[in-house]
Structure 1
Amino acid sequence: MGWFLVCFDLPTNNKKERRNAYRFRRHLLKQGYSMVQQSIYSRSYYNAERAEQFIKDIKVSAPTDGNIQMLTLTEQQWQQIVHIGNSGYQNSKYKQEPAQPTTKQIAFW
């Protein structure tokens, strides 16, 4: 069990680039990702094959411009993340609940 992170910097210099960045973010949300920060999205996974499926999906849906990086973290690494700042702060139009710990998601499955 672990976490799959998608980190990206997409250009937004013109209307087409903004539309592509918006569509990519919306695609991630529709696929079950949660916004961690404005350009970092996460999703839990249960085995390496599932993470490989996520990578293939991102490659297909990614805009041609910009930089996208993907990373996997174990549950233990995820729990060691240090958060600094106001937990209630939300500076985005993509209002999302923070990602749930895997244990809560396992109960759902």
Structure 2
Amino acid sequence: MSYRYMRVLIFFDLQTLTVNDRQNYRTFRKFLIQNGFMMMQESVYSKITKNMSSAEAITFKVKQNIPPNGLVQMITITEKQFSKMEILVGDVKNEYITDDRKLIVL
């Protein structure tokens, strides 16, 4: 079986005006982290998957856990497309997973 690594990207903009809004924000963010998503930027999270079928399972799970208000966007791209991303300003932090290694030693 060949693997075609995919990357699921989540972009969200959630209100934090009320106590309920802040709770929804925290719950959604915790859900992403507990399901293996890594923060790329504030409100931008990504997760690497083995193939398209596992990416579809993850997107289904995310759709079940979206907050009632705000904007949540999701895109699935190949790892090759993701690797072509250019950093225009700033530095890349090494604590994020940026490749498909099976074991990462910190």
Once the two structures are TM-superposed, the CA of residue 84 in structure 1 deviates from its matched residue by 2.8
Runs of 4+ in 1 over 3 A off after TM superposition: none
TM-score, length-scaled by structure 1? 0.81
Report what 2:27 is aligned to.
23
Identical counterparts, % of pairs: 29
2:33 paired with 1:35: no
TM-score, length-scaled by structure 2? 0.83
Report what 2:96 is aligned to.
98
Report what 2:50 is aligned to.
46
Once the two structures are TM-superposed, the CA of residue 87 in structure 1 deviates from its matched residue by 2.0
**Is residue 8–residue 39 contact of structure 1 (8 Å, CA) maintained in 2?**
yes
Q: Partner letter of residue 98 of structure 1?
A: Y
Report what 1:3 is aligned to.
7
Report what 2:74 is aligned to.
70
Structure 1 unaligned runs (5+)? Answer: 90-95
**Is residue 21–residue 63 contact of structure 1 (8 Å, CA) maintained in 2?**
yes
Match of residue 62, structure 2, among 58, 64, 86: 58
How many correspondences in the alignment?
99
Structure 2 unaligned runs (5+)? Answer: none
